[in-house]
Structures are given as structure tokens and as C-alpha cells.
Amino acid sequence: MDDEVLMSAKALLTYARFVLLFALMVIVLGAYVRLSDAGLGCPDWPGCYGNLVVPQSGADVQQAEASFPQRPLQADKAWKEMLHRYAAATLGLLILLLAIMTWRSPQPAARRNRGLVVGLLLLVMFQAMLGMWTVTLLVKPAIVTLHLLFGFTTAALLFWLSLRLSAQADVQGHSSRLYPLAWVVLLVVVMQVLLGGWTSTNYAALACNAFPGCYQGDGWPAMNFSEAFTLWRGLGVDYEFGVLDASARAAIHMTHRIGAVFVLLFTATLGGLMLRHCRRRQSRQMAAIMLFLLAVQLLLGMTNVLASLPLGIAVAHNGVAVLLLLSVIGSVFLLKRDLS
């Protein structure tokens, strides 16, 4: 590989990692908007009360509130929502540039990933539609949860792209015996992400205020699972602050906790086996990172319950969730290359 191609390869990898970091920032910002109840800070899309910026002057505010009398302007929430939209739009442009760079790069690894970056472009466009539906369908839990899931998927694909660009060649030979288990762990973590999103979007994070039981002295409260996991309730329902009763919210909350037990068992098993059996230092380091993030995530989850969902801790719980997902994806990638 000549110097020019080598420099192109390094530049593309550096840029892909930058886009990944920006995507993680957008995910955390989105979590902050959702958890601070600012998801409907602007009742329309893509603008805010018909403007590209939040109305500021008295006349603009009056006109905005006249256009949306059911949604009086709350400037702090509106700005949170618009900052997230600006950041998400910027991410879309960054991914578009990444696709162009990848498509035009002479690097062999870039050519192998052209399909992946096209998929990323399509995904980010679908994410924009989900962002619109989040507002127009009044934070419907199914839509908001999908928006969260595909935000995590965007970061996951960017991380996978970075891993593939950093590899010297395609994976060859036999994969580790732990490789199938890594895929199982990935599935378990993705299911837990979905449960976490469903918990948040149904305002069920505070349905239980004790640990390990739901209420003090009541390990298993009355729970309505049929209502808890009804995915679609028709159109025109305002889901802000939730529509479920206490028994349905408790069912969601406790299911998310049970999911955390499965994540703990499967992820800890994979991490321990990787530390013991993997020959390559990079694989052992990824296992250590995964186990550390798992411990932090469990601690944040318990703190959310016992401290009544502090905003900073709740946002961190979302941020560490995506990092834990990426560490499992990194393990999948490395175990494909690590003979054990």
C-alpha cells in the first residue's frame, strides 16, 4: 500500500471514529431531552411553532401560542428539543460525507464497506422520520422506543465500520469457540435496550421505589402485563407523562429488572470466559471494558430506583447502555478473529 492510500485509510478511519463519537453525543442528548420531559417542547416538526428557531420576541411568542393553543410555549423545553434536532441533522450530514468518502476511497477496506455506509444513510433517513412521528404522534411509546433502538443501531453500525476499517484484512480462519455465545449476549443486550426504552417511554422508571422488591415490604406487587405491553393504542392519544395505571407500569418496571438479571448472567459469563481463554490482548481488554460497563450500568440502575430517578443518573444510564452494547459488538468482532 503506497503512502497516499495509507494516509487516505487513516483519514477515513479517523473520520469514522469522529462520527461515532458525535452519534454517541446525539444519543445522550436525546436521552436528556426525553428524560427532562421536553420531547414535545416543540409541537410541530421540523421547526418549532412554525419557526426554525424557538420564538423569542413577545409578538412571536403570542403568534406561536395562538397557532398551538393546546401547547403554551415553554422556552427551556423548546430549546432542548431544537438543539437535539440541530445535532441530529448535523449527524445526518456527517454520515452523508462519510458515505461519500468511503465510496470514493481507493482503500480496499473502504470498498468492502460501501454497502454498510449506504445502509447507514438509509437508517439515518428513517431515524428522521421516527423523530417526526415522535412529535406528530404525541410521544407514542412504540415510536419513541423504535427511535431509541435505531439511534443505538446507528452508533453500532458506525462502531462496526470503524472496527472493519481498522482491521488489516478480512477475517480469515476459524472463529473462537466463544463466538456463538457473543451473539447470544448481543441479542440479550438488545432486548434489554428495548425494555429500557419501553420503561422510559411509558414513564415506568419510578413505578417501583425499592430494591430488590418493588415497594417496601412487597416484593411482587399487582402487575397488569396485558396492558403493560400493548404496543399500539390507536391515534390521537397524548402519551406525555404516560397513560398506564400503576399495575401496568409496575409490570414494565419489574420486567426490565428481570431482563437485567439475564444481561448480568450472560454478559458476565462471556466476559469471564474471554479473560480466561482469549489469546489476544485486545480481546481480553474488550472483555474487561465490557465487565466494567456492566457493573457501572447495574449500579446506575439501582441508583435510579433508590434515588427517585435523578436526571443526571438517568441520562448516564442511557449513555452507559449504548457503550455496553458497543463493547459486546466489539467482542463479537474480535472473537471472529481470535483463535482460542
Question: Residue 191 in contact with residue 334, Cβ under 8 Å?
Answer: no
- The Cα 336–Cα 182 span in angstroms is 10
- The Cα 118–Cα 98 span in angstroms is 10
Give alpha helix (H) positions in the chain: 3-35, 58-67, 75-104, 108-112, 114-136, 141-166, 179-201, 225-228, 246-277, 281-306, 311-335
- The Cα 152–Cα 289 span in angstroms is 18
| 240 flagged as catalytic | no
Q: How far is C-alpha 313 from the chain's CA centre? A: 16
Q: Which of 162, 84, 164, 97 is nearest to 127 (CA)?
A: 84
Q: How far is C-alpha 10 from the chain's CA centre? A: 27
- The Cα 268–Cα 276 span in angstroms is 12
- The Cα 224–Cα 210 span in angstroms is 19
User: Which residue among 4, 81, 227, 240 is the active-site one?
Assistant: 81
Catalytic residue positions, numbered: 81
